[in-house]
Structure 1
Amino acid sequence: MKALKIAIAGAGGRMGRMLLEVTLKDSQATLAAAIDQPGAPLLGKDAGEIVGSPCGVMISSDSEAGIAQASCLIDFTRPEGTLQHLEICRRHGTAIVIGTTGFDARGKQAIAAAAQDIPVVFAPNMSVGVNVVFKLLDVAARIMNEGYDVEIVEAHHRHKIDAPSGTALRMGEVVAQALGRELGECAVYGREGVTGERLPATIGFATVRGGDIVGDHNVLFCGLGERVEIGHKASSRMPYALGSLRAAHFLANMKHGLFDMQDVLGLR
């Protein structure tokens, strides 16, 4: 089997390093390029060396050249950077796995448009475990569709710039869809002061930011006399990296189309 040629965006960052590690250990993949932004401290360094496995691929700020050498780009950067990389992928026919969160409606539209020409996996969370949780939430919401209040609590490290997390929002979307609601019409993103009695059709969100929390998500179905909690806790970024590489392999035989991790895992 021909090895999958992987390019990694944001290679010098926390997630980038984890992606380097899993890619270099995958016998069916090869690191084609390691990309970081201009001025990044590790430019010119051997990408493998920073994770203990020198590989001869140097970290570069030349996104165009790096993506041109790859069959798939994995991108966990920022929305503006990812959208630039997306257009380069489109020009070169390179598949892309997008783990970046925080896109606005226009950004999501750009991703959908690019997917008409290239294969794209775009998911708020690449962890296999989290995507199993999405499936469980769908089942739970359909069963507990009356008499239960739904609240979503998420916690992340102090450096995360968007809130609620993309994963928490996706959890809300899964529950809302199962209940026949629109999340935009029933979500409550914070409570303060005299808020009045809770409206039964709402889905509440609470956000915690602090320290080095990788990612905790918990969905509560609160009824009378009982509470069901479905959650996921990540102790490292490894699940996201492993899921992303699995998504890259999934795209290897695709010509174009927009997919998410439910497609990758066969959970549709």
Structure 2
Amino acid sequence: MTSTPLRIGIAGISGRMGQGLVRSTAEAGCVVAGGTCRTPPMDAAARARLTNNGAIVLCDGLGELAKISDVVIDFTHVTTVQSHAELLADAGVPWVLGTTGLTEADQTAVDAAALRIPIVQAANFSTGVTVLLRLAREMGAVLPAERFDAEIVEMHHRQKVDAPSGTALAIGEAVAEGRGTRLADVRAPVREGLCGPRKTGEIGFAALRGGQIVGEHELLFTSGTEQITIGHRAFDRRVFADGAVQAAQWLAGRKPGHYDMEDVLGMK
């Protein structure tokens, strides 16, 4: 008996990430059920370019997309998180969430939805970054804050609008977790001018922008006598799309709950 291909809905299908997800979904043997976009293309030529010659349904909203999808992948804007959480929970459709920059209220809405549907949430869906986050947590636990200053440096393309990146913040959260604290309590403020000496236990960030760099992240632990660094470079944006589609395939049929890429990769 031939199994039915997984139907993946893509929120934000017209964006750069959305188009990468279209390609990755097809290459994984799944079906793009449809997608949403902020400004639907009005002319036939634009629609054909966006939806592979019209084979994909452009939906007016996430509720409509949920009706035709087995899983929805969402890399849209943070302002949509709370409404999307409610819509997908009501529809009973699993959710792969890659949107970053969530507020406490946004995260509360995601956590509430996870009681009703399975959700994979990650700041970065690449295998390499998932491993880096695990190492950051373990290194944070082993390298005491009293001796080792933790700094995170990231660089992205010039069009990126947020800083630090969601991945950089996730690295900082992993270090803080390893040290038994919260990033919000130890995050260093932006350094500019006469900002004073570095405080013990702080986790600092530096965000660089330029060219078309996909994403580079480096974590440095520095003491008075030595330095340890780990890092990750993405050469192609498709690594994020491929990981999100892998997460969607893993998520289908799971029980309600809040999962991450370590679950998807069998690291737990």
CA–CA distance in 2 between the matches of 1:206 and 1:89? 36
Partner of 2:67: 68
Partner of 2:26: 24
Residue 155 of structure 2 is aligned to residue 155 of structure 1? yes
CA–CA distance in 2 between the matches of 1:217 and 1:153? 6
Cα deviations by residue, 1:108-149 (Å, 9 ceiling, x for unpaired):
111111111111111111111100101111222233225211
Compute the TM-score of the two structures, normalised by the length of structure 2: 0.90
Partner of 2:115: 116
Partner of 2:79: 80
Partner of 1:4: 6
User: After the TM superposition, which of the residue ranges 249-258 and 135-144 deviates more from structure 2?
Assistant: 135-144
CA–CA distance in 2 between the matches of 1:89 and 1:182? 29
Partner of 2:177: 177
Q: Given the superposition, is the C-alpha separation of residues 46 and 245 from structure 1 closer, same or farther in structure 2, using an over 3 Å criterion? A: farther
Query: How far did 1:55 drift?
Result: 6.7
Alignment of 1:163-242 (within 5 A): 163-242=163-242
Runs of 5+ consecutive residues of structure 1 not aligned to the other structure: none
Q: Given the superposition, is the C-alpha separation of residues 166 and 229 from structure 1 closer, same or farther in structure 2, using an over 3 Å criterion? A: same
Query: How far did 1:49 drift?
Result: 4.7
What SS does the corresponding residue of 1:231 show, helix, strand or coil? strand
CA–CA distance in 2 between the matches of 1:139 and 1:84? 35
CA–CA distance in 2 between the matches of 1:132 and 1:55? 38
CA–CA distance in 2 between the matches of 1:100 and 1:192? 29
Q: Is the 8 A contact 2:81 2:106 kept in 1?
A: no
What SS does the corresponding residue of 2:233 show, helix, strand or coil? strand
Query: How far did 1:47 drift?
Result: 7.2
CA–CA distance in 1 between the matches of 2:185 and 2:141? 19
CA–CA distance in 2 between the matches of 1:43 and 1:149? 55
CA–CA distance in 1 between the matches of 2:54 and 2:238? 20
Q: What letter corresponds to residue 70 of structure 1 in structure 2? A: S
CA RMSD of aligned residues (A): 2.2
What SS does the corresponding residue of 1:188 show, helix, strand or coil? coil
Compute the TM-score of the two structures, normalised by the length of structure 1: 0.90
Q: What letter corresponds to residue 32 of structure 2 in structure 1? A: L
Q: Is the 8 A contact 1:46 1:59 kept in 2?
A: no
What SS does the corresponding residue of 2:23 show, helix, strand or coil? helix
Runs of 5+ consecutive residues of structure 2 not aligned to the other structure: none
- Report % sequence identity: 38
